[in-house]
Amino acid sequence: MAKHPSTAPAKSAQDTLTNDVLDGLKKEPKELSPVWFYDELGSFLFDNICELPEYYITRTELQIMHGHANEMAQYIGPDAALIEFGSGTSLKTRLLLDRLESPLAYVPVDISREHLFAAAGALAKDYPHLHIVPVCADFTQNFELPNFIRAAERRIVYFPGSTLGNFDRAQARALLARMRDLVGKNGAVLIGIDLRKDPRVLERAYDDAAGVTAEFNINALRHVNRELGADFDLDAFDHLAVWVENESRIEMHLVSRKDQTVHLGGEKVRIGRGEHLRTEYCHKYTLESFNELAATAGLAVKRVWMDPNKQFSVQLLEP
């Protein structure tokens, strides 16, 4: 899962994106990448999701950060370079930055140039003495860091929000392994991991009563229509959130209400009545299952902070 740049893609990039979408639509079940969620409206809807009563994730992670950021900062220690993957608004990061002792630099990494520089500018106002080094990159791919960050004695990757859950096991392992390589033997990874819980709680969190998540899901089709000239009928899909026990994940689907033919890139794609289009999955871990995953990437769990109801965890990993 990676966020897609909000600006219109150039012609050849557009062909690649069209082919990616067509490939997904040829799978069984049909799939559409979650990168399509995040145009301007999608990012706005996601911010709204984070405030919903059913979506416990953001609130709970913030609660953990409020309660334990002091201790996290102690683990991180002085003079660290803090590198945040998918930094967004850097909201939770402030709770850490407020407590870090003489950080060498803060390096937000985000694919959306606009959001990256807006957030970095806002931070610079509030932290005038902090060296902020924004890096515009897709963190799921290799990206360059300035030499002085690569050479920093203590490098910490911060990856809040439970975004790791949006990757399948192989991708999650590969991403964790890249984080391990980036921080080196003296570094650490501080990561937000959502925990397994009653599926009814999860299904509500991903299918809220106000319908914001449903709109967020449908908006992915709107985004594809606009950017790639497709003609999905936005009114002909229902939003569905479903817990898949054997994968330990909640999935978001769009279910077609009718037989329809979608035109995209000169091709026709048939979608049957009742057919599902999977748009996202969000894996939920137990402490043990995440421990095992981290170990396969060469990382050991050193410390786990949780809320009192054990809904969510922030974990410190070391190579």
Cβ closest to ligand AVI, residue 227 vs residue 251: 251
Q: What's the closest the beta carbon of residue 280 comes to ligand AVI, in angstroms?
A: 6
Q: What's the closest the beta carbon of residue 37 comes to ligand AVI, in angstroms?
A: 7
- Check residue 206 for interaction with ligand AVI (CB under 6 A): yes
How many helices, marked H, and strands, marked E, lie in the chain? 10, 13
Interface pattern 161-190 for ligand AVI (x via CB under 6 A): xxx-xx------------------------
Total number of residues binding ligand AVI (CB under 6 A)?
11
Site for ligand AVI in 45-104 (CB under 6 A): 49, 57
Cβ closest to ligand AVI, residue 194 vs residue 318: 194
- Check residue 215 for interaction with ligand AVI (CB under 6 A): no
Query: How many other CB atoms sit within 10 Å of the CB of residue 245?
Result: 8
Separation between Cα atoms, residue 316 and residue 293, nearest integer Å: 14
Q: What's the closest the beta carbon of residue 245 comes to ligand AVI, in angstroms?
A: 17
Interface pattern 230-269 for ligand AVI (x via CB under 6 A): ----------------------------------------
Separation between Cα atoms, residue 109 and residue 41, nearest integer Å: 21
Q: What's the closest the beta carbon of residue 267 comes to ligand AVI, in angstroms?
A: 28
Residue that is written with structure tokens 């599926």 in the block = 199
10 Å CB burial of residue 85 (0-12, 13-18, 19+) is buried
From 64-72, 90-98, 155-163, 178-186, span contacting ligand AVI (CB under 6 A)? 155-163
Tell me how far apart the terminal alpha carbons of the chain are, to the nearest angstrom: 24
Cβ closest to ligand AVI, residue 165 vs residue 187: 165
Cβ closest to ligand AVI, residue 131 vs residue 222: 222
Bond into 29 cis (ω within 30): yes
**Closest residue by Cα to residue 193 from 310, 51, 73:** 310
Separation between Cα atoms, residue 66 and residue 307, nearest integer Å: 10
Q: What's the closest the beta carbon of residue 56 comes to ligand AVI, in angstroms?
A: 10
- Check residue 282 for interaction with ligand AVI (CB under 6 A): yes
- Check residue 213 for interaction with ligand AVI (CB under 6 A): yes
Q: Which of 289-311 are b and which e, b meaning 16 or more Cβ less than 10 Å from the residue's Cβ?
A: bbbebbeebebebeeebbbeeeb
